């Protein structure tokens, strides 16, 4: 469908109030799932991030990389084993996690943003002791539980006009390195920055009354409603830890949290710059 110049102008005018609402404010985007593995979707997300940055939104990108870690471990002959959905990470494995997250993925995303016309700076949770952690469970090995976030390195990078691209590995005072869940890290980082919004990009439409029926999408949920939906069994399985991260971010000072479907091209722009949005928004009040 051909879009006329008048229609383009109308689209920009329609987006103006949303641009004004977000300009100068910090948003944190947790990037993962299909949007990270599909090259066309990856290209779309990076373009959206560059656009948001150019209109004055202070974007912080937090990423994981579980699939690529699994592939690299397999390549060196190590089997991936999980407990309660968390990867068992021995000393050799955590070195590979660090190499994949802080190296290949982080620098690849940083480079891609710059190729789209943005300015990006790749960071890891180790840099500046940004993400301090301790061992979560001895059964899991070097899987970390966050004990503190130092947001100064992130703010310094934002102040210089760059998009921070953060890989979710942390460390302790003894120099041990830990693999950190990306959703948890994004929520903690967003809270420490008192971000305007946190966006969790997933492979689901959001929170649905019936997980098998996207038409039952719940567009807005309060903290109290989130607890009720968990008790009623509507929020179940792998969505529970994501919702817990949403709750933690709101309680930490984030204004709004969104779970959005990263499989939809330009999902970020649709959620941020339109009336309807496409995912589930979590808010503090009723």
Active site amino acids = 30, 33, 66, 183, 242
Task: Report the relative pairing of strands 169-171 and 177-179 from DSSP bridges.
Answer: antiparallel
Q: Which residues of 256-270 are buried (b: 16+ CB within 10 A; e: fewer)?
A: bbbbbbbbbbebbbb
Q: Which residues pair with 63 in a beta bridge?
A: 31, 167
Rg (CA), the chain: 19
In the sheet where 177-179 sits, what is the strand order? 144-149, 131-135, 169-171, 177-179
């Amino acid at each position: 469908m051909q879009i006329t110049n008048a229609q383009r102008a109308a689209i920009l005018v329609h987006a103006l109030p949303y641009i004004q609402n977000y300009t100068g404010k910090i948003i944190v985007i947790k990037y993962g799932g299909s949007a990270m593995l599909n090259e066309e979707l990856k290209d779309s997300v990076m373009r959206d991030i560059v656009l948001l940055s150019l209109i004055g939104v202070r974007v912080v990108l937090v990423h994981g990389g579980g699939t690529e870690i699994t592939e690299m471990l397999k390549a060196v002959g190590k089997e991936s084993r999980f407990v309660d959905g968390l990867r068992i990470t021995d000393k050799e494995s955590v070195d590979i996690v660090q190499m994949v997250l802080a190296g290949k993925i982080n620098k690849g995303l940083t480079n891609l943003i710059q190729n789209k016309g943005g300015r990006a700076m790749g960071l890891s949770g180790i840099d500046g002791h940004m993400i301090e952690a301790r061992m979560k469970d001895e059964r899991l090995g070097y899987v970390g539980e966050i004990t503190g976030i130092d947001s100064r390195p992130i703010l310094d990078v934002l102040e210089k006009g760059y998009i921070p691209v953060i890989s979710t590995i942390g460390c302790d005072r003894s120099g041990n390195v830990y693999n950190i869940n990306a959703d948890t890290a994004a929520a903690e980082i967003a809270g420490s920055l008192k971000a305007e919004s946190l966006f969790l990009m997933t492979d689901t439409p959001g929170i649905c009354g019936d997980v098998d029926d996207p038409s039952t999408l719940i567009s807005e949920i309060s903290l109290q409603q989130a607890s009720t939906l968990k008790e009623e069994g509507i929020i179940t399985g792998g969505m529970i830890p994501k919702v817990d991260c949403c709750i933690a971010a709101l309680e930490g000072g984030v204004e709004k949290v969104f779970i959005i479907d990263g499989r939809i091209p330009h999902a970020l722009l649709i959620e941020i710059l339109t009336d309807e949005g496409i995912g589930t928004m979590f808010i503090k009040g009723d």
